[in-house]
Amino acid sequence: MVQVPSPTIRARRLRRELRRLRDQTGRTADEVAKTLGWHRSKVIRFELGHTRVMPKDMQALLDLYEATAEERASLTALLRQSRQKGWWSAYGDVLPDAYVGFEAEAASICAFECLYVPGLLQTEEYVRAIVKAGRCVGSQDEVDRVVAARLARKALLSRDEPPSLWIVLDEAVLRRVVGGPKVMRAQLRRLVDACELPTIEIQILPFGSGAHAAMGGAFTLLEYADPRLDPTVVYLSNDTSTLLLEEDRQVARYRLMFDHVRAKALDPDRSADFLAQVVAEVPD
């Protein structure tokens, strides 16, 4: 499968470039707004990604910033790509945030998980069991759509250049029998198989490791091919909210946290052996 540009990433790159051009001219948001006859908040919303940039507005900004022909061509392409729809737009009712758009173009995904197997490595039966457990009032159609969206994400691992995936799992993820013994055994075997793939590293953090740096909860680091254009982001989520962190100091903190937990976890080879042992221990 060939990778296609993510409109989410292109929109982020566009707003970062617009901010860079403004800084390059030494103008404040107030000065830009006054010159163009806009409200100050309009400039800020563009740069934060809270409002979609319209072609005529971007043209006005590029004129004001005296953008070069190369910059104009690049930003025009970004604007066009940012207005396209990713496959996930068809699941907007069950994928309420932008995470999948950020994940779609990641070159590297590093995640710590303490409750369940990460979505990219879940079997269909495991997904369905989790969704049913967490959506007490959801209709069967809603459950089916959530499952379909989760499975569609896994196509990411089949593209021509899949992202490198480095997962650290708390032992609790393996011990909680989700969907019954049969479903859980199949899920654990899926993890064992994943350990053999060249782009996937899985480490287990045993209970015996004691306290660790990530006891505050799960998180995911998404890194991109060119960090100058697309800096790393950190994604946090729970049942009621999600949070995307972009500030350098926040990202650095979580990168250090991930380094600590993977250093404390079993190495990949011992983790694969540990997984195989847990599979054998799943009750009938």
What is the number of other CB atoms lying within 10 angstroms of the CB of residue 140?
Answer: 8
pTM greater than the 0.85 cutoff: yes
User: Mean pLDDT, the chain, as a whole number?
Assistant: 93
- Rounded to whole angstroms, the Cα distance separating 157 from 162 reads 5
- The reply to whether 152 falls in a domain is no
Q: How confident is the model at residue 21 (pLDDT cuts 50, 70, 90)?
A: very high
Does one domain contain both 196 and 224?
yes
Phi-psi region of 26 (alpha: psi -120 to 50; beta: other; left: phi over 0): left
Number of domains within the chain: 2
Between helix 7-25 and helix 69-82 the angle, nearest 10°, is 150
How high is the pLDDT of residue 136? 57
pLDDT category at 283 given cuts 50, 70, 90 is confident
**Comparing C-alpha atoms, which of 224, 264, 263 is closest to residue 246?**
224
Same domain, 104 and 229: yes
Residue 31: per-residue pLDDT: 96
Domain holding 76, by residue range, is: 7-82
pLDDT of 284? 77
40: domain CATH number is 1.10.260.40
Shared domain for 65 and 184, answered yes or no, is no
In the predicted model, what is the mean pLDDT of residues 207-233?
96
The answer to whether residues 55 and 164 belong to one domain is: no
User: Do 178 and 38 belong together in one domain?
Assistant: no
Residues 103, 76 share a domain = no
β-sheet with 108-113: strand ranges across: 200-205, 164-170, 108-113, 219-223, 233-237, 242-245
Per-residue pLDDT reduced to its tens digit, 22-73: 999 999 999 999 999 999 899 999 999 899 999 999 999 999 999 999 999 9
Domain shared by 114 and 19, yes or no: no
Indicate the pLDDT class of residue 135, thresholds 50, 70 and 90.
low
117: domain CATH number is 3.30.870.10
Residues 157-195: pLDDT tens digits?
A: 998 899 999 999 999 999 999 999 999 999 999 999 999
Contact criterion met (CB below 8 Å) for 158 and 165: no
Residues 112 and 212 in one domain: yes
168 and 51 share one domain: no
Question: Among candidates 170, 252, 175, which has minimal Cα distance to 216?
Answer: 170
Choosing from 82, 113, 148, the residue where a domain stops is: 82
Query: How is residue 88 annotated by DSSP?
Result: G
How far is 53 from 83, CA to CA, in rounded Å? Answer: 9
**112/251 same-domain check:** yes
